[in-house]
A and B are shown apart, each in its own frame.
Chain A
Amino acid sequence: MGGSGSRLSKELLVEYQDLTFLTKQEILLAHRWFCELLPQEHRSVEESLQARVSLEQILSLPELKRLIALHRAAVKIAMQSAWPSACNTANPFKERICRVFSTSPTRDSLSFEDFLDLLSVFSDTATPDIKSHYAFRIFDFDDDGTLNREDLSQLVNCLTGEGEDTRLSASEMKQLIDNILEESDIDRDGTINLSEFQHVISRSPDFASSFKIVL
């Protein structure tokens, strides 16, 4: 599509392959998506590596694709659906994910390498340790290094949907969080720290299959 002229150099590709869990095809695909977010004149390789894309822009990509698709019949619907779900509007954790993976001072935009990092962590081949580590950071809403009751309740709200009628009632929430802490808070200090979290996750049968993004 748009980034037809701008292919990453071979050395850079090998480097990215070394540093992430992605395959060559996946890196190229990611680069193509990323370039589509940039204005037409800034799509050269050097500029695309320097550029940063704000959260809003990333979120707008699926809509953008739809517009392009209307104009060009050749663009397949498959391209629309292939946009990674981390940045899809359907994902309730999209803002957290962007915050965790951003390297900009204000933490609201992603560079291409941040984007690769994100895809690498969510890829099939990433190790469980890496995945649980980043999962912990995503779920740690106030960035204080532990999951406390507020983090957990925010997490539950993200899962059940934010609307007023979809939330759990206060008593249900309390019961739920008590149960979670009962199961995972090994040292009984009222919060879940990283090693406790990783311990729990290592025994969770669903985590490996759910914490991934299909490219």
Chain B
Amino acid sequence: MSESSASTLPPGRPSRQAFIHQESLSLDSSCFSSPPVTFLQELPSYRSIARKRTTILPRDKQSGTLLKPTDSYSSQLEGEITENLDNQSIRKYALNISEKRRLRDIQETQMRYLSEWDQWKRYSSKSWERFIEKAREMTTHLELWRKDIRSIEGKFGTGIQSYFSFLRFLVLLNLVIFLIIFMLVLLPVLLTRYKITNSSFVLIPSKGADIQCTVYPISSSGLIYFYSYIIDLLSGTGFLEDTCLFYGHYTIDGVKFQNFIYDLPLAYVLSTVAYLALSLLWIVKRSVEGFKSNLIRSEEHFQSYCNKIFAGWDFCITSRSVADLKHSSLRYELRADLEEERIRQKIAERTSEETIRIYSLRLFLNCIVLAVLAACFYAIYRATIFSQEHMKKEIDKMVFGENLLILYLPSIVITLANFITPIIFAKIIHYEDYSPGFEIRLTILRCVFMRLATICVLVFTLDSKITSCDNYPCELCGYNQKLYPCWETQVGQEMYKLMIFDLIIILAVTLFVDFPRKILVTYCSSWKLFQCWGQQEFAIPDNVLGIVYGQTICWIGAFFSPLLPAVATLKFIIIFYVKEISLLYTCRPSPRQFRASNSNFFFLLVLLIGLCLAIIPLTISIARIPSSKACGPFTNFNTTWEVVPKMVSTFPSSLQSLVHGITSEAFAVPFFMILCLVMFYFIALAGAHKRVVVQLREQLSLESRDKRYLIQKLTEAQRDMRNRLD
């Protein structure tokens, strides 16, 4: 073959030919020379790869393994082993078991030539590995719901499995939050109350606070109807109000153990800070992995097609129907991606006139979205005020149903808003002319914002009610004492109600909507209507939003109601089983499937948004609103946060000045600047790396072209040699 012909061939061809040549060559060379190695493997580039992946034997050695005589093999394997004597586990070789067995025999015979010390070392490392393995096997049995999650994964694939793993993560998170609060706040109180340790309460010394502010009438128990117990249980009023479930119960200044006074207010504030910080750190730690891969992929759809094709099939899927769903979702996804590419081209070709039209349309539609959001927020605001105003006055006169309705009005309005707005958003997004992928993400983001912001609106409404007094001056206590003698407890009750109502809704939907629907669809399948309706889809985004909403409530409420994390833990455990049952028996997996890598990051992102939204109202109520004077550990402080400066003032002076230095502007501003500089440095570094990657890629393709050319030359030369010999 001449040089010119090789260079004029289309890029796909020469390699093919080179490949064939190489194959024939390798056969020939095995006749000529003793080591059956194709010379391609002697190329430096191949060697470096082989050293990096000693575990993988070149592919052509495996084809027809059993057909070949084994002698040439074992010699090769022996070579491999002598090459890497660092005793790699045999199972990491890509061989079948009989090959591996032989490999092990070789390894063992080689062992005999080693010194005793080496033999002992080898032996002990092996038994250590075995021990580790056994330990790991044991620990997997301790994992919560391992079996359930694995069987779900086996049936429905990894997308739905990631939802359940997420749920399990939330259960653990809430459990840990509860343990923190329990250890710091509850345990000292309980130990003293039930006289387990020899300790006593330190009561709050009455400071010159106005007597009017300290009035806290706990609703007297006169004649109690039976139903009022139920109402109390559902809304946290009555007999539940003065239990350790709520803030108002902790009206003590400290616990005195022999000669050490446990500062309860400080512990209370610190536990709040601790659980928020812990949640933040835990979420960030979990999302770092997903963030990395997300960042890599976001670079101009880097490898998105390869990921979809090579890692597209979920080998966990067993059931026929789920496999069909997976087929169709893959088909849909691939088509959508190709479509998106075409749309992107179209956008690039768009005229300025069209661009203006689309942007103005989007602006208009976004205004509508904002209007919808505003309307929902206003409705929640009105409902909260109405419920707050009517709750206290008419509690005796009202009948059971009406009473409960008023108590639960904010929760009902919030749930309704969360039910209606996603439908509106889904309709609106169609007219905005985004690419399909972006469409889904934007809708989900809007729903997330809607769901989580509603809780914030509720809390802000309560806050504004608390700090506004109608007809007498608020200066006395700093908040509306008449309506809210112990406002923290009331906010806690509101959160408690939201949490219970959310659970009730989830249970009711499963029991009274999904289950009858399933029965109708299965047993009345002759009716066209029911068939079109179909079973309930198990839509992952909605479900995730639901549990993140619950978690946000828990974060906000845990300050006002220290036992709320425990309630949340129980609630998530119940939800886990309910969802599992509904997935197995009443729902079908959604045709639009989620990828595990995608969804894990998305879930945590939504959770992070929830945490941020929870921190805002919490900081305001801790740092701004005066703490109630009638109840709680902070009756002697203006705001809750004042505990911390007070504690700092008891520090030794050097430490005090250090703390003041760190919190002052003189430190914060330069610190912020330095952080910005570091960030810019990393951004610039990333840009440089990106450029280097492009250059290296070009160089690689050049090198490979060189290599192919050289191989051709070499084969020609060898053939010439042989011809001359003949």
Contacts and interface: CB of A to CB of B under 8 A. Distances in A.
B260 interface: no
A4 interface: no
Interface residues of A, number: 83
B314 A117 contact: no
A159 B327 contact: yes
Contacts of A83: 318
Given A18-B90, A122-B315, A135 B11 contact: no
B613 to A, nearest CB: 28
Nearest to B126: A18
A145 B59 CA distance: 7
Interface in A139-162: 139, 143, 145-146, 152, 155-156, 158-161
A127 interface: yes
Contacts of B307: 204-207
Contacts of B311: 201, 204-207, 210-211
Nearest to B60: A145
Interface string B292-325: 0110110000111111011111111111101110
B596 A203 contact: no
Contacts of B130: 17
A86 interface: yes
Interface stretch (A28-36, A39-47, A180-188): A180-188
Interface in A104-153: 104-105, 113-114, 116-117, 120, 122, 127, 129-130, 133-137, 139, 143, 145-146, 152
B273 interface: no
Contacts of A54: none
Nearest to B312: A159
B96 A187 contact: no
A82 B317 CA distance: 11
Interface in A185-209: 186-191, 194-195, 197-198, 200-201, 203-207, 209
A178 B324 CA distance: 26
A146 B154 CA distance: 31
Contacts of A137: 59, 62
Interface residues of B, number: 83
Contacts of A179: 305, 341
B328 interface: yes
Given A189-B12, A191-B15, A203-B303, A166 B56 contact: no
B367 interface: no
A133 B327 CA distance: 24
Interface in A2-54: 15-21, 23-25
A166 B60 contact: no
Nearest to A163: B327
Given A91-B323, A127-B55, A214-B154, A117 B96 contact: yes
Interface string B54-98: 011001101101110000000000000000000001111010111
B315 A152 contact: no
B129 to A, nearest CB: 10
A91 B96 CA distance: 22
Residues of A contacting B: mostly: helix
A159 to B, nearest CB: 5
Interface stretch (B210-218, B242-250, B494-502, B697-705): B697-705
A66 interface: no
B660 interface: no
Interface stretch (B331-339, B440-448, B572-580, B620-628): B331-339
Interface in B653-711: 697, 700-701, 703-705, 707-708
A57 interface: no
Nearest to B94: A133
A206 B601 CA distance: 12
A172 B335 contact: yes
B42 interface: no
A89 B322 CA distance: 12
A188 B98 CA distance: 37
Interface in B1-26: 11-16, 19
B571 interface: no
Contacts of A116: 97
A19 B107 CA distance: 13
B310 A201 contact: yes
B605 interface: no
Contacts of A191: 12, 15-16
Given A105-B66, A127-B92, A205-B307, 12 more contacts: A17-B133, A19-B90, A23-B137, A82-B154, A90-B319, A92-B327, A152-B309, A156-B309, A176-B305, A187-B705, A201-B311, A204-B311
Shortest Cβ-Cβ A-B pairs, 10 listed = A187-B704, A190-B12, A90-B323, A189-B15, A205-B597, A205-B293, A207-B311, A161-B327, A206-B311, A113-B97
Interface of B: 11-16, 19, 49, 53, 55-56, 59-60, 62-63, 65-67, 89-92, 94, 96-98, 100-101, 104, 130, 133, 137, 150-151, 153-155, 158, 290, 293-294, 296-297, 302-307, 309-320, 322-324, 327-328, 330-331, 334-335, 338, 341, 595-597, 697, 700-701, 703-705, 707-708
